[in-house]
A = this chain, B = another copy of it.
Amino acid sequence: MTNSQKQNQMANAIRFLSIDAVEKANSGHPGLPMGAADIATVLYTQFLAHDPKNPAWPNRDRFVLSAGHGSMLLYSLLYLTGYEDITLDQIKDFRQLGARTAGHPEYGHAAGIETTTGPLGQGITNAVGMALGERLMAARFGDDLINHYTYTLVGDGCLMEGISQEAVALAGHLKLNKLIVLWDDNNISIDGKISLADNTSQRARFAASGWHTIKVDGHDQAAIAKALEEARASDRPTLIACKTTIGFGSPHKAGTSKVHGAPLGADEVKATREALGWDAPPFVVPAEILDNWRLAGLNAARKRLEWDRKYAALEPAQKVEFDRLMRGDLPGTFEAAIEAYKKKLVDEQPKVATRKASEMALEVINAVVPETVGGSADLTGSNNKKTSQTASITPDDFTGRYMHYGIREHAMGAVMNGLALYGGIIPYSGTFLCFSDYARPAIRLSSLMGIRVIYVMTHDSIGLGEDGPTHQPVEHLASLRAIPNHLVFRPADVVETAECWQLALKSAKAPSTLALTRQSLPTLRKEHKADNLCALGAYELETASDAAQVAIFASGSEVEIAVAACALLEEKGIATRVVSVPCFELFERQPASYRKALIGAAPVNIAVEAAIRQGWDRFIGTDGIFIGMTGFGASGPIEELYPHFGITAEAVVEAAQKRLDEKAAEQGAA
């Protein structure tokens, strides 16, 4: 190693802020910040284009700490380079309730935290999304305006997770050459040596997907700088394998799993101070060292000034559009386009599957909302998400608006998170609802971060038919509705599908999932309403002829069944109403008075959904009747499956009649 004293001291500043913060919190992960301090020092002092005083500068380089447990590395960097959000007090408050300095980096807690990390493998895949975002925005506004690097620091955990392979393959395919992965190659995981569970050559694996790879001593700052230069010049994405010692500097714990996720302890902190020649007391960075860091922050911001001139030179219309995109505002023409489209639908009353209805809506949306970028996990023809406006994105052409994500649902979700975080883009994409399970960790992070990512999940019930129980969701609606801050839409017809798309696009602070059918459904909306009825979450679709004896609540394809049952019951003289429930979450946001009135007071309440009951008690009460699934589905034609599982209008009528008879008998007895 040939690091200068200054270089070592700057890295040690990270090490001791991290050590001291973990020690004070008596909780946290000192090993990574200590091991990766040299890498981070080189990156933040010599390469990263960012501006601590203008952290949202659109053309900044992105840095993602994929190994999120090493959060103190990032907090140290943000403090040292001068981000206002991360003060020394925040660092002293590491892992305390209400602090910006949470156990893992949380998007939104502080500027400079580009994404929430901690669940392993997500960050590297978000970084792929950001690097893709950079190419997409450059294709739209020119390489002069948008042209920067995306860096991510990953650990062995990130690389063992399967999602990393999906990310690596996608980035290699797209030749995202401004994506640089810094691998903290320390040979240690929580259980001990990596060789306990893995002997993969990561360099060979990345190379297999078309990456450039470099190996470097992760404590030799000059070598790291040289590797970064080489990576930046590459025509392919680059993996830099940085051989490091976890807990570098700790005399008795460095190089072992003991330093991964626990405080060093007072004695070892003292010994580490001695070993690294760091005399400063806890949380004190000597002035000269801090000055050097702050200077690095100022230097890094110079590129922002250059960029401001380019931005100022944009055509006025381009500037307006760029600003709109970066704010995340929808175009002014959006609402009118949806309104006109809804009118047309009510006039024409088409009978189509909601997956097709979604394609029709997207045809309207994509024409007026240029920032949508669609895609599918290799189910383009089945998911119906490619419209006339969305040419495929290819390694040679990023002007397109459609991603072929491959059979990689998990990466698709995490790349969409990266795109949404990048800004200027509204990503939507999907797969079969059943395979939302594959993307679930990414969907959870969309929700936790509160970002506009739209998951379009087709084939949403046993209605998909012959593919059978492996492909038929039964628990997925309930399990997706369980995720906080996540709008799950299940539209009942072509009009509701348009309304749900409208709501999903307008939901800037929560992701959405649209659950859509494979099978055709009639248009149920008979009169045009300017209001978006789905915005209520649930609304009365059919009014009872008299005080309702029966109320039927249903979503999606089962609303048709509810309406048919309602007609049959009304024929029998039983006053019945139907409530369509496209979105549980939005219903919960309505005033209590609306909710109470909508649920009503019919003596018999029935819910119909071709899925499990969980969650429906909210509408029908624990003594309500549920017509749906109690277990897994089966392979067979749809015409046989619905009767087989007893999900029919006749079954609803029978159950209602029986319950009414029971109630009458009870009252007679009373």
Contact = CB atoms under 8 A, between A and B. Distances in A.
Contacts of A631: 484-485
A169 interface: yes
A614 B481 contact: yes
A376 interface: yes
Nearest to A469: B448
A156 B173 CA distance: 15
Contact of A165 (B25, B99, B165): B165
Interface in A391-447: 392, 404-408, 410-411, 434-435, 437-438, 440-441, 444-445, 447
Interface residues of A, number: 105
Interface centre among A162, A411, A444, A469 (most CB of B within 10 A): A162
A98 interface: yes
B632 A120 contact: no
A161 B165 CA distance: 8
A467 B622 contact: no
Interface string A600-644: 000000000000101101100110000000111011110011001
Contacts of A161: 162, 166, 407-408, 438
Given A482-B475, A622-B618, A407 B120 contact: yes
A196 interface: yes
A199 interface: yes
Interface centre among A173, A207, A441, A481 (most CB of B within 10 A): A441
Contact of A97 (B96, B485, B641): B641
A169 B190 contact: no
Given A162-B408, A162-B411, A632-B484, A103 B437 contact: no
B635 A95 contact: yes
A178 interface: no
A380 interface: yes
A166 B172 contact: no
A644 B98 CA distance: 10
A379 interface: yes
A370 interface: no
Nearest to A406: B197
Interface centre among A117, A160, A434, A469 (most CB of B within 10 A): A160
Given A116-B470, A376-B191, A406-B160, A208 B205 contact: yes
B612 A189 contact: no
B621 A189 contact: no
Interface string A101-133: 011101000000000111111000000000000
A190 B458 CA distance: 15
A478 B614 contact: yes
A30 interface: no
Contacts of A173: 197-200
A381 interface: yes
Interface string A190-210: 110000111111101101111
Contact of A199 (B172, B437, B483, B612): B172
A630 B197 contact: no
A3 interface: no
A324 to B, nearest CB: 30
Interface in A461-478: 465-471, 474-475, 478
Given A163-B162, A378-B190, A407-B161, A482 B614 contact: yes
Contact of A197 (B156, B405, B470, B485): B405
A297 interface: no
A392 B196 contact: yes
Contact of A103 (B202, B379, B466, B478): B466
A387 B206 CA distance: 37
B637 A96 contact: yes
Interface string A474-512: 110011011111000000000000000000000000000
A484 B479 contact: no
13 contacts: A27-B637, A95-B636, A96-B637, A103-B468, A106-B469, A119-B435, A169-B198, A169-B200, A173-B200, A189-B406, A191-B404, A440-B440, A448-B632
Given A162-B163, A173-B197, A445-B470, 9 more contacts: A103-B467, A161-B438, A162-B164, A162-B410, A189-B378, A205-B209, A444-B475, A484-B630, A485-B632
Interface of A: 25, 27-28, 68, 95-99, 102-104, 106, 116-121, 156-157, 160-166, 169-170, 172-173, 189-191, 196-202, 204-205, 207-210, 376, 378-382, 392, 404-408, 410-411, 434-435, 437-438, 440-441, 444-445, 447-448, 465-471, 474-475, 478-479, 481-485, 612, 614-615, 617-618, 621-622, 630-632, 634-637, 640-641, 644
